[in-house]
Amino acid sequence: MAFLPHAQRWRALAVLVVWLLLLARSGAFQTGTDHAELGRDQNQMEGARREIQASLNIYRSLAQKDPDTYLPYVAATLNDLGILDSDQNRTEEARREYEESLNIYRNLAQKDPESYLPKVGATLNNLGILDLDKNRVEESLKIYRELAQKDPATYLPYVALTRNNLGNVDTAQNLKEQARKEYQEALKIYGELAQKDPATYLPYVALTHNNLGNLDSVQNLMEKAGKEYQEALKIYRELAQKNPEIYLPDVATMLNNLGLLDSARNRMKEALKEYKEALKIFRELAQKDPETYLAYVAATLNQLGMLDLDQNQIEEALKTYRELAQKDPQTFLPKVALTLNNLGILYSAQSRMNEARDQYEEALKIYREAAQKDPGAYLPEVAMTLNNLGILDRAQNRMAEARKEYEEALKIYEAFATQDPEQFTIDVERLKRFLKALPK
């Protein structure tokens, strides 16, 4: 299971505190070959890439002489390589690999649908996740539903997982009610499966409760979100008692999500307790596997530091993200910018205005560069940082600079509000108020 990015963020009225939501997950299907477990750090991933690429070269050579035997192996290995490239944000490479795999499986399914239609469904699912392509995931779902009519024991779990993925795609496309329907259908199936086989399917029940909680949070349904998260946490705690290595990270993730939710509900005592327990778990995990868990330590420090107004925790998060960004700038430079923004907010609250400005300006520089490559993801962060700089300039009586920053932020938010008014209208209204309040 792989983490899927979630774009929604809470926004305070004046000073924006941005947090990392530890996320809804999505399932990428592997379709056959027995390669080594894909490693999560860069060195392991590159080693896995070399192994899979070597296998692919061998299978391609064999398929030239005996396509009936070896083309299925070519397709399966392309799918595995696509999963790896997708995990490393090599989107174009992953798309080519999935597309070639899909073409092979479609041709094979014409001759042997019983064997290869499930593979078509799996590869459509993977392409749909990669491109957030609803049509691909819906075609995958259609295939699995038809297969489940004949063999429910085998294919109902795939129906549920594909519905979950469709819910993630709908959420990303702001189709929230459709997403809710998909998650609820997935939860119903997983609940029934878990009654017969709890060891296998209770984790998926918890996953779907988490996804519903994320959706409730986005829709400001705080009580419902809290119930979903608590249900997921309860399941993960029970699973972690038997298998802590696998499920303690999920316990910590749910605690983090609850901390975010309780912070938004102004339940600071509960949020503080949840963040502290999550941080303790992530620190212990990071001692054994720093490549995987240091980022989660930093994220939790960031959240806890803003809740406690603790400069040391935020500075530790920043130090960790800077070190991670040296190895993987594409992933972690935006986290550096996020933490700089939070540190700027804290310095502003301490009347350390020049230090706050330094943090905001560095964050703005990082976000502007990131927005050149991915404007949809990072232009709102540019606007958020301009908002914060504008507040700082207003406090220092630099009205011309504040007006310029507010106007640029407003222009960005207005453009995004046309696509997603539910999320961005509040930002538009706030910036208009700020501009109106500036002296002429």
What pLDDT is stored for residue 439 in this prediction?
87
Amino acid at 347: Y
| Alpha-carbon distances, residue 20 vs 33, 141, 186, 297, 298 (angstroms) | 35, 30, 25, 12, 10
Q: From 313, 309, 285, 287, select the one nearest 301 (Cα to Cα).
A: 313
Residue keyed to tokens 């976000």: 367
C-alpha angle 211/324/322, rounded to 5°? 110
Q: Report which DSSP code applies to 39.
A: P
What pLDDT is stored for residue 47 in this prediction?
80
Q: What φ, ψ does residue 261 adopt, rounded to 5°?
A: -65, -45
What pLDDT is stored for residue 227 in this prediction?
96
Residue 75, token pair as written in the block: 């397709």
Spatial separation of the C-alpha atoms in residues 205 and 207, rounded to whole Å: 5
Alpha helices in 133-289, H assignment, sequence order: 134-150, 152-172, 176-196, 198-218, 222-242, 244-264, 268-288
| Alpha-carbon distances, residue 123 vs 28, 195, 212, 331, 434 (angstroms) | 9, 29, 25, 26, 49
As a whole number of Å, the CA-based R_g of the chain is 23
Amino acid at 368: R
What pLDDT is stored for residue 27 in this prediction?
53
What pLDDT is stored for residue 45 in this prediction?
73
What pLDDT is stored for residue 20 in this prediction?
26
Spatial separation of the C-alpha atoms in residues 90 and 238, rounded to whole Å: 37
Q: What are the domain boundaries of the chain? A: 309-440
DSSP-derived secondary structure for 279-347: HHHHHHHHHH-HHHHHHHHHHHHHHHHHHHT-HHHHHHHHHHHHHHHHH-HHHHHHHHHHHHHHHHHHH
The tally of CA atoms less than 13 A away on the side-chain side of residue 324 is 25
What pLDDT is stored for residue 174 in this prediction?
84
Q: Give the SS3 label for residue 380.
A: helix
Contact indicator for 440, 400 with CB cutoff of 8 Å: no
Q: Report which DSSP code applies to 438.
A: S
| pLDDT, tens only, 1-55 | 222 222 222 222 222 222 222 333 345 454 443 333 333 455 677 788 889 999 9
Helix (H) or strand (E) holding 57, with range, is helix 42-65
Spatial separation of the C-alpha atoms in residues 313 and 317, rounded to whole Å: 6
Spatial separation of the C-alpha atoms in residues 341 and 386, rounded to whole Å: 10
Neighbour count for residue 9 (Cβ, 10 Å): 18
DSSP-derived secondary structure for 6-30: -------SSS----PPPPPEEPPPP
Which residues touch 89 (CB under 8 Å, ≥6 apart)? 330, 331
Residue keyed to tokens 């905001």: 360
Contact indicator for 24, 168 with CB cutoff of 8 Å: yes
Contact indicator for 260, 19 with CB cutoff of 8 Å: yes
Q: What is the mean pLDDT of each run of 10 residues along the chain (440 residues)?
A: 26 24 40 38 73 93 95 93 86 94 96 94 93 95 96 95 94 91 97 95 95 91 95 97 94 94 92 96 95 92 89 94 93 94 92 94 96 92 95 93 95 92 90 90
Which residues touch 145 (CB under 8 Å, ≥6 apart)? 159
Q: Give me the CATH topology for the region 309-440.
A: 1.25.40
Expressed in angstroms, the distance from the first to the final Cα of the chain is 55
